[in-house]
Amino acid sequence: MERLIFHIDVNSAFLSWEAVRRLQAGDKQDLRLLPSAIGGDREKRTGVILAKSIPAKAYGVQTGEPIAQALRKCPTLILAKPDFALYEKSSKAFLSICRKYAPVVEQYSIDECFLDMSGTSMLYPDPIAIAHRIKDEIRDTLGFTVNVGIGSNKLLAKMASDFEKPDRVHTLYSEEIEAKMHPLDVGALFTVGASTAEKLRRSYVRTIGDLARTDPIELQNLLGNKQGTHLHQYANGIDDSPVQAEAEDAKGYSISTTLPQDLTDWEAGNRVLLALTDSVASRMRADRAKAYCIAVTVRSNQFKDRSHQRKLSTPTDITDEIYAIVKSLFAELWDGRTPLRLLGVALTEVCREGEEMQLSLFSEDAEKEKARRVDRAVDAIRNRFGYNTIKRGASCDPSERIGRKSRTKQE
C-alpha cells in the first residue's frame, strides 16, 4: 500500500493566534492585515521579532531582527507580546480537528503536525478534497489558516506545505519531485541549514536537483558520511520515517516551541524555558497532578535532537522548583555554541492527588509551601483575568526587571 502523508502548518502561527484572540475580544482590525508583529517591548525597543504579518514584511521587517531595527523600517508597526499559554491552547484546538480525520497524528511542533492518511481511500477517495476540507474547517472554526502539504512520505509532505502561502493545499508526490522540488535552491531542502547550503554552493551544488545528481561519495567527503548520505536521500525524495502518534496511555504534560531565530544566548534560552515551564506546570496543576520526572529537549539548527531528564524522589507541581531543574538540565544539554531551533519541557510519571507512592518522611519546608501558595495565587489571577495579567520576573526582558526594581525602591 502506497503511503499518503499530510503535513499541516499554521500560517504565521503566533501572529495569527493573537489576531484571532483580539478579533474575538471585539477588535475591529485584523492584525494580519496591518503592519504588525509578535515581539518585545515597543516603548523600550527591546527584544526581537518572533512573527510578522505580510504587510510588515512589505516594509522589510524580518523575523529574528531586533525590535529597534524593525521600528526604524516601520515606525507604525503594531507589536504584541508573546503568550505561550495562548499558543498552546490554539495548538491543541487545531490538532483536535486533525485527529478527527486521520488514524495517526504526530505533533511535530506547536504549529505543525503530520497526518498518516494511508489506507483511508475508502473514506476519502480524493486526498486533495479532504485536505481542503480539513484546512477549511480549521479556518472556519478557529479563525486562522493553515497550509496542507500532501506527499508519499513525511519529507515530501513537509516540503509541499512550504510552497505558496497562505491557506493553500499543495502536492509533492514521488513523480512530481523532478518538476516541483529539484529546481528549488539547495537551501530550501528540509534540514539544510545556511552554512551547509553555502558549502554546497561553493562546490557548485546550487539546486536540490544538483544535490540529487551529485555522487554520494563526493557529498560524504564534503559533509561527512552521515550528513552527506542523509541529504542525498532527501534530495531524491527518500524518507522512510514513520508518523508516530503519542501512546494513548502516556501520562504527562509537555510543551515545545520552534524558535523563529536560531538561539545562541543563554539568558534568552532560559527566558523561553521559564515561559514554557510556567505554562506546562500551570496546566498540570489545573488537573491536580504532580510529576516525578522532568525533561528538557533541544533541537539544533542541524535538526539533531537531544534530551535529558531527572527523576525526583517526591513529585512536584511547583513552577520554581521545576524551573530550577529545567535550567540545570539545559546547562547539561547545551554548550552555548551550537545554535538551537527548538526548546521543549516535559513533565512525566504523573500522579494525581492521593496517588503519591513515595512521600517524604518529613513535612515540606515553609519555603516550598510558600512557593505553592504563590503558584495557586498566580493561577487564580490568570484564570480570572487572562494569562498575560501577571508574569514571572525572570521571564521578562532584563531592562524591564531593572525598571521595576528601580520604581519599587523609589516608592
| Count of beta carbons in the 10 Å neighbourhood of residue 200 | 24
Catalytic option among 18, 112, 353, 411: 112
How far lies 122's CA from each of 135, 136, 160, in Å?
Answer: 20, 21, 24
Residue 43 appears among annotated catalytic residues: no
Sequence-ordered list of residues with C-beta below 8 angstroms from that of 206, at least 6 positions apart, any chain: 185, 186, 200
Sequence-ordered list of residues with C-beta below 8 angstroms from that of 180, at least 6 positions apart, any chain: 160, 163, 172
- DSSP strands (E only) in 164-285: 169-172, 252-263
**What is the C-alpha to C-alpha distance for residues 85 and 275, in angstroms, rounded to an integer?**
9
Are 88 and 23 in contact by the 8 Å Cβ rule? The answer is: no
| Count of beta carbons in the 10 Å neighbourhood of residue 52 | 27
Q: Using CA atoms in the order 69, 71, 73, 74, what is the torsion angle rounded to 10 degrees?
A: 160
Take residue 161 and report the three cell numbers written for it: 506545505
Active site residues: 112
